[in-house]
Amino acid sequence: MLEPPLQLEKSSNRQARAMNSASRASVALEALGSNHAVRATWLLSSKQMLAVRRARLLSLRSARAFSSHSSAH
């Protein structure tokens, strides 16, 4: 009569250990993925910032050119 509960306890311990290691692995993967995502978004944002700066400079120049051109007429 004592055999089944002990066996059940062993299997549940094994299952708990497996679940624990699996969750640890998923956390590690998640951290790795989020780190990569952060790096990707940072790269993207820095490129976007450069593009925005360039666009602003161009629009300012064209606006100045347009205003000076229109005021000449």
Q: What is the pLDDT of residues 41-64, one digit of tens each?
A: 666 677 788 888 898 888 888 877
The answer on pLDDT for 73 being more than 80 is: no
Using CA atoms, how far apart are residues 37 and 45, in angstroms rounded to an integer? 12
For the chain, domain boundaries = 7-72
Considering the entire predicted model, what is its pTM? 0.31
Q: How far is CA 47 from CA 25, 42, 56, 58, 59, in A?
A: 33, 9, 14, 16, 18
Residue 26 has pLDDT above 80, yes or no: no
Is the model's pLDDT at 13 over the cut of 60? yes
